[in-house]
Amino acid sequence: MPMSSLPLTGLRVLDLSRLLPGPYATLVLADLGATVDKVEEPEGGDYIRQMPPLRDDVSGLFYGLNRNKRSLTLNLKQPEGREALKRLVRHYDVLVESFRPGVMDKLGVGESALRAENPRLIYCAISGYGQTGPDRLKAGHDLNYAARAGLLGYGGEAGGAPAFPGVQMGDIGGGSLFALVGILAALHERERTGQGRFVDVSMTDGALAFLHMHLASRLYMGTEGVALQRGKEALNGGYACYGLYRTADDRWLAVGALEPKFFAGVCERLGRPELLEDAYAPGESGARVKAELTRLFAEHPLAYWQERFAGSDLCIEPVAEGDDVLKDPQLQARGLFVEAEDAVLGRKVTHLLTPLRMGETPLRAPPTLGQHSREILEAAGFTAQELARLGH
């Protein structure tokens, strides 16, 4: 399928963001056909370029987040660089940045300055705590945002430590995905109004969305409800039918048999139909069922349980570890892992595609730092003399 058939073909995006949240959002846009041009500092560029692991002097993290993009270097600390950015935005639909609130304004290239150049521009700012509030300028990382949003406190064993998530819920779920929602909503609005808008994405606000069902219920219940409790509620470890169980070979099973019809089937396969009776009971009765399941699953290795529950459709899955996910036949069938030749590296590289595919995803290698500077600037009308002043 040709790239012209991709839904975002013709959309032009300037990406000033770094590391993970912004670049993953713009990766999704690029995979859907948008032209995404990274604006990077001349010295070093996006910090993730230098982060391990490295192969062929290229960061695997950078490679995975920046395919299908071009790279332009501009020094925004210099007047020439700032003026160049102002001229460039006249040719773009969307700008994404992830600086602390106020940084772009101090440079003279904040939302108001850039939208004065292009009123149709959608300006998306991703930050840890948002553009307003007492902590708007506070430093943080994904773990901090997940902690502040209550995600860490809700996961883990009852009476034990909060569960360390291991993945970037705030960065991706709170930052990247809500940036995409905001950008696409603003593009739709622009069709009606002809005007762009400012999209304020707080990764902490976004992380809170993972608790929406539980916290919204808590608010509704008011004084008749109870505060959220780690490890004691239906979906965070309180029910025996919905939890993780260790097997004899130190692997794990994810038992998600939440509905009675599913858990009844699990109990039948285990030869213990009586366990269903107290599976949803609070307190000691439910705890006894959980303890018995813990004992039973620990008696045999993972492969035994996979065979025992094969074809049962009872909401039981092995916990994938290491490279297991790369061998998963369902994920392979979905086409998430695609090999492509990288002419610069002189070898094939397997790409992990973004989940939403609406056509054949292009697989152009990530850009070297400033690789497309002249191409981008010349297309925007910069003369040879102006390019020279910008160091190109």
Give residue 281's pLDDT. Answer: 86
Cα distance between residue 329 and residue 118, in whole Å: 47
Q: Count of domains in the chain?
A: 2
Paired tokens of 118: 């292009």
User: Is 179 in the same domain as 43?
Assistant: yes
Cβ–Cβ under 8 Å, residues 124 and 201: yes
Residue 259 domain boundaries: 252-318
Mean pLDDT of the chain: 96
User: Is 59 in the same domain as 21?
Assistant: yes
Give residue 1's pLDDT. Answer: 40
Report DSSP state, residue 274: G
Q: Please check whether residue 323 lies inside any domain of the structure.
A: no
Cβ–Cβ under 8 Å, residues 142 and 170: yes
Cβ–Cβ under 8 Å, residues 243 and 289: no
User: Is 157 in the same domain as 98?
Assistant: yes
Paired tokens of 159: 């009476």
User: Is 56 in the same domain as 86?
Assistant: yes
User: Is 186 in the same domain as 92?
Assistant: yes
Give residue 357's pLDDT. Answer: 87
Coil/strand/helix, residue 72: strand
User: Is 194 in the same domain as 262?
Assistant: no
Give residue 4's pLDDT. Answer: 57
Cα distance between residue 387 and residue 378, in whole Å: 8
Paired tokens of 128: 């840890």
Coil/strand/helix, residue 199: strand
**What one-letter code names the amino acid at 334?**
R
User: Is 313 in the same domain as 382?
Assistant: no
Q: How far is CA 268 from CA 14, 309, 355, in A?
A: 57, 11, 36
Q: pTM for this structure?
A: 0.95
Cα distance between residue 356 and residue 298, in whole Å: 38
User: Is 294 in the same domain as 376?
Assistant: no
CATH number at residue 200: 3.40.50.10540
Paired tokens of 152: 């860490």
Q: Please check whether residue 372 lies inside any domain of the structure.
A: yes
Give residue 2's pLDDT. Answer: 47
Which residues have a catalytic role annotated? 141, 171
Paired tokens of 39: 């604006």
User: Is 119 in the same domain as 264?
Assistant: no
Give residue 283's pLDDT. Answer: 84
User: Is 267 in the same domain as 120?
Assistant: no
User: Is 176 in the same domain as 298?
Assistant: no
Paired tokens of 299: 């008696």
Give residue 30's pLDDT. Answer: 98
For 256-288, how does the pLDDT look when each residue is reduced to its tens digit (9 = 90+)?
999 999 999 999 999 999 999 999 987 899 999
Cβ–Cβ under 8 Å, residues 351 and 67: yes
Residues (pLDDT < 70) of the chain are 1-4
